[in-house]
Amino acid sequence: MILKILFFSFTFVIFYFCKKVCCVKFFKKFPPLVLSAIFIIILLKIFNIDFSLYNSGAKYVTYLLGPATIALAYPLIKNKEVLFQNKRAIWFGFIFATFIAIFSTAILGKFFHTKLSIIISMLPKSVTTPIAVEISKTIGGIPELTACAVIITGVIGGIFARRLLKFFKIDNDIAIGLSVGASSHVMGTSSLAERKEFKQVAISTVALTIVAILTAILAPLIIKLYLKLAPVLGM
């Protein structure tokens, strides 16, 4: 029990330390989550601590993702006026982003002759971790692989999404928030929060919530359709 509490506390200490490190100019472009993971892996290797032993306490951090995701309902309700004012553009963006995220993954996976189980695991990559893992379980994916895909997607979005939008001269707050939230979920949204772009954060939060709901609904249906059509089309 003491070890579980120790590892649970250790995880928070490392994350807090990495947040401070990310304030240093050289590390500003790195998300604290990535640095935390690197530090933990290095420390586990140095002290020869088995991951299952460490995870016996650290896994409780994962349980907190559920309540954290539910808490996103607050900004969703708080910013409902923005949704109504721009409902056509925003809702089209939600649906388009969801379909692109799912179909691009499936098409690229098929193009590179990837196993179906891996393709399925990658489908919810643009959804926040706790929901993505549950979607993966529902559609027959590998939850651990899904979690890795979600983190990688979030890191790439958090670092490059804003720059890519700037390159294409997109400076509308709604467009930026929708794009970042729909493609790189919480990590992308946190990158906007660090810049104190509060309107973008609000839209991004709404986007990641709605896209998660749409993905949870559409992904199982698309997989069932794919499995039915694959033998007919010779896929």
Confidence (pTM): 0.73
**pLDDT (tens digit, 9 = 90+) per residue, 192-201?**
776 767 777 7
| Residue 89 predicted with pLDDT over 80 | no
Identify which of 132, 131, 9 has the alpha carbon closest to the alpha carbon of residue 60: 9
**For residues 74-102, average pLDDT:** 78
| Residue 235 predicted with pLDDT over 60 | no
**For residues 44-68, average pLDDT:** 81
Higher-pLDDT residue of 48 and 34 is 48
Contact 223, 116 (CB under 8 A): no
> Tell me, what's the pLDDT at 72?
63
Tell me the pLDDT band of 231, cut-offs 50, 70 and 90. low
| Residue 29 predicted with pLDDT over 80 | no
Structure tokens at 62: 């994962």
**pLDDT (tens digit, 9 = 90+) per residue, 158-176?**
778 878 888 888 888 888 8
Give Rg (Cα) of the chain: 19
Tell me the pLDDT band of 207, cut-offs 50, 70 and 90. confident
Identify which of 110, 126, 103 has the alpha carbon closest to the alpha carbon of residue 182: 126
Structure tokens at 153: 């997607």
**For residues 3-18, average pLDDT:** 86
Q: How far is CA 219 from the centre of its chain?
A: 16
CA–CA distance, 196 with 75 (Å, rounded to integer): 15
CA–CA distance, 15 with 12 (Å, rounded to integer): 5
Contact 126, 185 (CB under 8 A): yes
> Tell me, what's the pLDDT at 216?
86
Output phi, psi for 123, to 5 deg. -55, -45
> Tell me, what's the pLDDT at 66?
67
Q: How many CB atoms lie within 10 A of CB 153?
A: 23
Burial class of residue 107, CB neighbours in 10 A (0-12, 13-18, 19+): exposed
CA–CA distance, 123 with 135 (Å, rounded to integer): 9
Structure tokens at 228: 């039915």
**For residues 59-64, average pLDDT:** 76
Q: Which residues, 6+ apart, have CB-to-CB distance to 10 below 8 Å?
A: 57, 58
| Residue 126 predicted with pLDDT over 80 | yes
Contact 206, 76 (CB under 8 A): yes
Place of tokens 């979607």: 135
User: What are the helix (H) ranges across 123-170?
Assistant: 129-139, 143-167
| Residue 232 predicted with pLDDT over 60 | no
Tell me the pLDDT band of 56, cut-offs 50, 70 and 90. confident
